[in-house]
Amino acid sequence: MTDNTPTGPRLTAADDLYLFQTPSDPQISPDGTQVVFCVQRVERATEKKYTNLWLADSDGRRLRQFSHGKWADTQPRWSPDGGTLAFLSNRGSEEQAQIHLIPVDGGEARPLTDLKGNFANFEWSPDGAKLVCQFRKKDADALEREKDEAKKKLGVSYRHITRGDYKFDGAGYLPQERWHVWVIDAESGEATQLTEGDHDETEPRWSPDGQSILFASNRSERPDMELDETELYLIPATGGEMRQLVTRPGRKFGAVFSPDGQHVAYIGRQQPGRWYQNAVLYVAPLDGSGARDVSGPLDLHLVPATTGDVVGDAFPAGPVWSADSRRVFDLATARGNQSIVALDAFAEPATAEWLVDGRGVAGGFTFDRARARLAYIWSPPNDAAQVCVRDLQSESPDAATRTLTALNPWLAEVETTTPEEVWFKAADGYDLHGWILKPPGFDPSQRYPSILQIHGGPQMQYGNFYMHEFHQQAAAGYVVYWSNPRGSQGYGEAHAGAIYGQWGTVDYDDVMAWADTVAKLPYIDPQRMGVTGGSYGGYMTTLIIGRTDRFKAAVAQRVVSNFLSFYGSSDLNAGLEHLAGAPAPWDDVAACWAQSPISAIGNAKTPTLVIHSENDYRCDQEQGEQVFIALRRLGVDTELLLLPGESHGVSRGGRTDRRIARLEVMLGWFEKYLK
């Protein structure tokens, strides 16, 4: 791997984004002796991102790059005997990834499949003879177009859309074909499609005896509108009639068999249509007696929800059963951290043991077959992500934990400060959690300009996580501060649900209480305060400039500005009702308008930069354009930065030169008004 390491002490820069090597998806071998994981890098000259597989001994003695080349090698999965790795790779065709197999003890990778379409997750059968995968074929007209060079050059002539889920942010317009369950012979590559029809079947998993396959599917009359009507189904591994499991109503994901084959654990919500609710653990017996809520009484959110800009995990990690089929392991988002917890599947009352905890964010994790050793991603506040292993049978947690990687050693040469955690009071006395990052070389006798950062979601959290953007702004001489106002995840369901149906109320009060708290600090210049945020953070930034002129500059990013026009223009479609609790516009125009920042834009006086991605299918470009044109019409100093080819998640996964442009233009705007 190319050594891009700079020399000598320096400050965080925007183009450091070219240097990060990002690990993800750690998979520990069945015997627990090795961990394979992905590392992504950026090639500055071409702006392309490449991912290769790395292999580490669990005892920390050896680390090596396992696959090479300018490919995207992802989703490594150990065969049951630990001798072979299956993985997805686009080697041989940049546009088409196939499942490849490679011996762990050496040899060349060989393609197992030759299918035209997209793979999602896949899994080895218990005997290692087959793989089950979630696969979506290319549309027939797309395949025909590829065969004819003239038609291929002309491209798509029209899109005939018949359902509401026709696009998805980061993926673009979706094919007419659906996700289905396929079984692949691990020797010959022969592919057999088990399910078909106009419904998606997702997340297939083998039963322990290899006789059945479990999957999730929304088979309601209008799955594009009835978003939470997901159920779990079993189908024979050779194909045939499917059977629905008896569970509870609501969306379900991450379903997995217990090792004894008697139960299925899955993640869901207690009430359909309430997306602010905790993601909780359910256990359903296969005998049809119904699902049990395991974690609800613990008030834990059991999916990752911590936002960061140097992250690599794209696949959910849990739930995972213990070897004795008694406990279930999963990630928990809690109070600025992400931890790995063990939940007793059958205890009354519910109990949880915190296996990996502390100041930091745990990512994807896997166990060996005996559940004696755990591999996981760990991101502390002062370092980018690393791969760690913990021996669960050790009596000393500190001695049991080993960091297997030392990615991004150049960070040690960059002068930074550690974020300071702060608990403060909201206007009504409610306890809130925030962080303050001071500039390198901080002088308490000086008064500094500051930047308030507001996260997206809103059902996400800021946390004890390395944020390159915050360090870049601090390096420029700003105090950067952020918090988790009501509406955020990680502080209980009541905290997250406090703004359901009333965005811009107590959440606005909480954000302003944080600004008030920081403004009173002796080293803060209250006349030089800026504010920014993206997505829901862009919503709140736009709301702020319409309600107060206390901030001297603002940067509103990928905003939601108008609930009336947002409805139907987002890939969430009717999901706005579930996410925000907002009614359909024709049912209550007044309620939608009251929660729309554009309704107060006439009061705005704050110089505001608007940033939006041109391929943002989550928050359509017109949402940002409304703000820009309104400010121009009002005579407020404003500019619009559009990022071509980028989706909603540009700050985390966009093309690197565009991410850098975003950071530099944003910083330039604050420099203009705050310095």
pLDDT in tens, 275-297: 999 999 999 999 988 899 999 89
Of the CA atoms within 13 Å of residue 214, those in its CB half-sphere come to 25
Q: What is the pLDDT of residues 124-142, one digit of tens each?
A: 999 999 999 999 999 999 8
What pairing do the DSSP bridges indicate for beta strands 553-557 and 608-613? parallel
Q: Are 217 and 199 in contact (CB under 8 A)?
A: yes
pLDDT at 464 over 60: yes
User: How far apart are the C-alpha atoms of 276 and 245, rounded to whole Å?
Assistant: 26
pLDDT at 5 over 90: no
pLDDT band at 228 (very low <50, low <70, confident <90, very high): very high
Helices 656-674 and 468-475: angle between axes, nearest 10 degrees: 40
pLDDT for 31: 98
Q: Is 436 helix (H, G, I), strand (E, B) or coil?
A: strand
Q: What is the dihedral of CA 540, 544, 550, 555, to 10 degrees?
A: 60
pLDDT band at 397 (very low <50, low <70, confident <90, very high): low
User: How far apart are the C-alpha atoms of 562 and 564, rounded to whole Å?
Assistant: 5
Q: What is the pLDDT of residues 293-328, one digit of tens each?
A: 999 899 999 999 999 998 766 555 779 999 999 999
pLDDT band at 273 (very low <50, low <70, confident <90, very high): confident
Q: Worst-scoring range by mean pLDDT, 244-248, 395-399, 539-543?
A: 395-399
In sequence order, what are the residues at sequence separation of 6 or more whose Cβ sits closer than 8 angstroms to the Cβ of residue 477?
Answer: 439, 448, 449, 675
pLDDT at 4 over 90: no
pLDDT for 313: 64
Helices 536-547 and 506-519: angle between axes, nearest 10 degrees: 70
C-alpha dist (Å) from residue 627 to 127, 256, 261, 566:
58, 45, 55, 13
Q: Are 520 and 422 in contact (CB under 8 A)?
A: no
Q: Is the dihedral of CA 103, 109, 110, 112 positive or negative?
A: positive
Percent of the chain surpassing pLDDT 70: 97
Strands in 58-211 per DSSP E: 63-65, 73-78, 84-89, 98-103, 110-111, 117-124, 130-137, 167-168, 172-173, 180-185, 191-193, 201-206
Identify the bridge partners of residue 117 per DSSP, sorted by sequence position.
Answer: 137
Q: How many CB atoms lie within 10 A of CB 249?
A: 14
Please report the domains of the chain, with CATH numbers, ordered by start residue.
416-674 (3.40.50.1820)
Q: What is the pLDDT of residues 400-414, one digit of tens each?
A: 899 999 999 999 999
pLDDT at 1 over 50: no
Strands laid side by side in the 431-437 sheet:
420-425, 431-437, 479-483, 448-454, 524-534, 553-557, 608-613, 638-643
Strands laid side by side in the 292-293 sheet:
252-257, 263-268, 280-285, 292-293
Q: What is the pLDDT of residues 473-501, one digit of tens each?
A: 999 999 999 999 999 999 999 999 999 99
Angular region, 335: left φ>0, alpha ψ -120 to 50, beta rest:
left
Q: Is 462 helix (H, G, I), strand (E, B) or coil?
A: coil
User: How far apart are the C-alpha atoms of 388 and 522, rounded to whole Å?
Assistant: 40
**Residue 168 backbone phi and psi in degrees, to 5:** -150, 135
| Nearest Cα to Cα of residue 269 among 287, 253, 257 | 253
Q: How many CB atoms lie within 10 A of CB 35?
A: 27
In sequence order, what are the residues at sequence separation of 6 or more whose Cβ sits closer than 8 angstroms to the Cβ of residue 451?
Answer: 473, 478, 479, 480, 481, 529, 530, 531, 532, 670, 674
pLDDT at 2 over 50: no
Burial class (CB in 10 A: 0-12, 13-18, 19+), 587: exposed
Q: Is the dihedral of CA 43, 49, 53, 57 positive or negative?
A: positive
Residue type, 151: K
Identify the bridge partners of residue 374 per DSSP, sorted by sequence position.
Answer: 367, 390
User: How far apart are the C-alpha atoms of 606 and 544, rounded to whole Å?
Assistant: 9
pLDDT at 349 over 50: yes
The chain-wide mean pLDDT, for the chain, equals 94
User: How far apart are the C-alpha atoms of 586 and 242, rounded to whole Å?
Assistant: 40
What pairing do the DSSP bridges indicate for beta strands 386-391 and 401-403? antiparallel
Question: How far is C-alpha 424 from the geometric centre of its chain's CA atoms?
Answer: 28
C-alpha dist (Å) from residue 43 to 18, 39, 46, 215, 635:
7, 13, 6, 38, 42
C-alpha dist (Å) from residue 160 to 157, 164, 176, 572:
10, 12, 9, 19
Structure-token match 């003239």, residue found: 150
User: How far apart are the C-alpha atoms of 532 and 540, rounded to whole Å?
Assistant: 9
Q: Is the dihedral of CA 613, 616, 622, 623 positive or negative?
A: negative
Q: Are 285 and 626 in contact (CB under 8 A)?
A: no
User: How far apart are the C-alpha atoms of 379 and 397, rounded to whole Å?
Assistant: 17
| Nearest Cα to Cα of residue 426 among 496, 365, 486, 497 | 486
For residue 345, what are its two tokens? 């599947």
| Nearest Cα to Cα of residue 326 among 267, 371, 288, 367 | 371
